[in-house]
Structures are given as structure tokens and as C-alpha cells.
């Protein structure tokens, strides 16, 4: 059986059931003036993974494997934004407020868009999600089922929030999950490291982790 070099042991890949899911590579998390910055984070860390995320996306496209993109965003009338989420903490700008890139995390606003270098192409699925996990209040589960996808490679941000939440949701739903280490990032390097460690601990209790080069090398055989 084909395998991707991974931790804590080789990932038993089935190319006909494999997709890449790129979580929330949006301007709001990567650029000054967006949601991430409004929470006081150094957003420059996020931009540094763009070349590796791009390599991964291009590798999946070249191999003819599905690429799915997610975006954390809300309806303009905020009807899908629980007060508990909007009112949390003490950000400079709250979700829905007008910022330098438009309204924070609102569908269709410039700041909510996926970074141009990583923009979806025709035919790729885009999941707009109101939560941290991509299965909550979206059609992701049905779409994966229709496409026969049972294995997910994860990239995107932030490692310990939307990426990890979605991996855990997927793991509980029976998907085999592999996190691409250089293609994910956190505002907190120690949280990224801890997430990678906890995902693959206890015999891959949530999933596997692998280097981008090893994933790309494997999918050339797809």
C-alpha cells in the first residue's frame, strides 16, 4: 500500500479518497487591519507560510486531486454570529465592524477574501463557515461524502484554532487526517508546536503530521 512519510508512523494514503483542505488563508488573519491584528496578534507569521501552502495546492492540482478552501465569515446581518463570539474579549475591532479592509470577517468584504496567491480556481469547493470548525453549520460533510473523500490533508491557519478544531471534527466523523507542518501557522509558535505534538500523540489519536516535501513526493504517484 502507498504511504506518506509521516509521524507517528507512515500515513496509509489512498489517492482516490484524498483531498487537501486549506483552512482560512484569508487577509483578515494575515494582514494588518484584519481580525487577527485586531486581537493584538503579530500577523507577519502567517504570511511566511504562503509559499509552502501554495506549493501544496499546486501539487494537489497537478496530481488531479481535490482542493477545498474554507473561509471563516459571517452574513452581513450577523444572523449567524452568536453574541458570545462577537462580544468575546477586547479587540480593537469586533466581527462586523468597519475596518481598513471592509467589515471584519463579513462575507464578500475585501479583508475576508482568501489571499490572492492562494485563491481558489474554477471547480474548487469553497466552504464559508461561521465557526472555528469547518463541519459546523456547513455542507462540508455532504460534499466529502458525495466526492468519496475519506482522507484529508490539512493546511492553513491558525494551527490550534480553526485547523485543529476541524481536524478533530473530521477525526470524529471517521476521516483520516494529516497535517502539513510547514503549511500551517499560529500567532503563537508554542501553540503550533503543542498542536502538532498532541495531534500525533498516543498513536495518532487525532491524526498524522508530515512535511510538505514528503506529501508532494507521494502525490506525484497519485
Give the active site residues. 24, 129, 162
Asked if 161 is part of the footprint of ligand C5J (rule: CB under 6 A), the reply reads yes
Q: How far apart are CA 21 and CA 14, in angstroms?
A: 16
Q: How far apart are CA 128 and CA 138, in angstroms?
A: 7
Asked if 157 is part of the footprint of ligand C5J (rule: CB under 6 A), the reply reads yes
Which one among 13, 19, 24, 149 touches ligand C5J, defined by CB under 6 A?
24
Binding-residue pattern over the window 107 to 146 for ligand C5J, x denoting contact by CB under 6 A = -------------------------x--------------
Shorter beta-carbon distance to ligand C5J: residue 48 or 147: 48
Q: How far apart are CA 13 and CA 218, in angstroms?
A: 9
- C-alpha distances (whole Å) from 92 to each of 33, 36, 39, 84, 213 are 10, 10, 7, 17, 39
Asked if 158 is part of the footprint of ligand C5J (rule: CB under 6 A), the reply reads yes
Asked if 162 is part of the footprint of ligand C5J (rule: CB under 6 A), the reply reads yes
Q: Between β-strands 98-99 and 102-103, what pairing exists: parallel, antiparallel or unpaired?
A: antiparallel
Contacting ligand C5J within 67-86 (CB under 6 A): 72
Closest approach, Cβ 5 to ligand C5J, in A, equals 27
Q: How far apart are CA 61 and CA 121, in angstroms?
A: 10
Amino acid at each position: 500500500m502507498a504511504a506518506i512519510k509521516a509521524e507517528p508512523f507512515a500515513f496509509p494514503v489512498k489517492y482516490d479518497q484524498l483531498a487537501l483542505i486549506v483552512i482560512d488563508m484569508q487577509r483578515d488573519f494575515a494582514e494588518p487591519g484584519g481580525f487577527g491584528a485586531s486581537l493584538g496578534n503579530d500577523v507577519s507569521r502567517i504570511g511566511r507560510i504562503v509559499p509552502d501552502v501554495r506549493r501544496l495546492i499546486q501539487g494537489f492540482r497537478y496530481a488531479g486531486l481535490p482542493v477545498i478552501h474554507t473561509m471563516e465569515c459571517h452574513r452581513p446581518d450577523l444572523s449567524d454570529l452568536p453574541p458570545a463570539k462577537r462580544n468575546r474579549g477586547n479587540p480593537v475591532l469586533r466581527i462586523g465592524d468597519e475596518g481598513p479592509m471592509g467589515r471584519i470577517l463579513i462575507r464578500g468584504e475585501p479583508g475576508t477574501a482568501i489571499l490572492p496567491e492562494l485563491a481558489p480556481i474554477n471547480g474548487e469547493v469553497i466552504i464559508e463557515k461561521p465557526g472555528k470548525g469547518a463541519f459546523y453549520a456547513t455542507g462540508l460533510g455532504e460534499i466529502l461524502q458525495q466526492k468519496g473523500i475519506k482522507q484529508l490533508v490539512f493546511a492553513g491557519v491558525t494551527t490550534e484554532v480553526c485547523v485543529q478544531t476541524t481536524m478533530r471534527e473530521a477525526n470524529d466523523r471517521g476521516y483520516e487526517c494529516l497535517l502539513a507542518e510547514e503549511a500551517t501557522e499560529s500567532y503563537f509558535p508554542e501553540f503550533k508546536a503543542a498542536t502538532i505534538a498532541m495531534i500525533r500523540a498516543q498513536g495518532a489519536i487525532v491524526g498524522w503530521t508530515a512535511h510538505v516535501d514528503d506529501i508532494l513526493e507521494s502525490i506525484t504517484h497519485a
